Amino acid sequence: MALLSRVAESLFWLGRFVERAENTARLLDVTYHGRLEPGTIDVAGAKNTWEALITTLGFNRLYAELHADVTEQGVIDFLTVDRRNPSSIVSALTSARENARGCRDQLSSETWVAINRLHHATAGRNLHLILADGLYDFCDTIRQGAQTFHGTAENTSLHDEGWYWLRTGVLIERADMVTRIVDSKYHLLMTSLEEVGGPLDRYQWGAVLRSVSGYEAFRRTHAGGIDAPAVVGFLLLDRKSPRSLRACVDALRDVLDQATEGAEPRLRNPAMREVTALQNRLQFATEEAIIGGGLHESLATTQAALATISHALSEAFFWASSSAA
């Protein structure tokens, strides 16, 4: 490979950390403002909502080590500015900037400015300042900054091997997050049976769509309204939706093919086999079959496959190549 393994790794994790910060901001904003909507959740359910968010992101064990109880302010602090959480928004953007330093010569000047502006937007922030200024404004700054970074990188960077490693990181992170978002509603925030299909159920599925900026697109393509099978199909299987699981995996297959072009088969094949297997499974899946066979189990299997892909890439192109260099 022409690109040094440490540079490829930096680009990969730059993409993942920026995407992680953006997705965390999206989920946090929707959760925070969703619990303010009249009639959507009672006081007793508020704690469960914040617990579900922590579990969705896979941080319940770390949070429990740092906090005696789950509270709204505790979760917001943990996900925004707590540097003890390596995936808080501040921590993710700090890691993104450090990785950008490691691949500076691969980034256009405009892309370098974009990641620095995004990083500086969180500088000096604490929970008091975020809540005083408004959590929405903070989350919107992160969303807009991440979108600026992605757009700038796409339109000013050479689309070569380095670009494909950056996109590989973005797509793995995005695919993983959409499975967690769907799982949070269906498995953790599941309404009681008598409320399925009711106003609360529809509102919660609408919130899921808003968290991935898919609400308007869904309404344009689904005249029948919001229900579980339709939203699951849209977020997991609709290739026209850019943040759907299938769209991410299809794009991942293409960019990974480009990123690893010319590599030895022993390095390239393990990750490519996993991506192709996941792509084939999604190609023939239906929302009815996914739900009927156990949505949570299906999503957990997908998350495991994505983790396997990431690990295979690290072993083949980052760890192994670094030690050999």
What digits encode the pLDDT tens for the residues 202-241?
888 888 898 898 999 999 999 888 988 999 999 999 999 9
pTM: 0.91
Secondary structure, 3-state, 59-115:
CHHHHHHHCCCCCHHHHHHHHHCCCCCCCCHHHHHHHHHHHHHHCHHHCCHHHHHHH
208-247: string of b/e by CB count within 10 Å (b at 16+)?
A: bbbbbebbebbeeeeeeebebebbbbbbbbbeebebbbbb
pLDDT band, residue 2 (cuts 50/70/90): low
Which residue ranges make up each domain of the chain?
5-324
Q: What is the mean pLDDT of residues 275-286?
A: 96
Q: Does residue 22 have a pLDDT over 60?
A: yes
Nearest-angstrom CA–CA distance, 96 and 18: 6
Measure the CA angle with vertex 149, ends 117 and 237; round to 5°.
145
Confidence of residue 325 (pLDDT cuts 50, 70, 90): very low
Statement: residue 200 has pLDDT above 90: no
The rounded mean pLDDT for the chain is 89
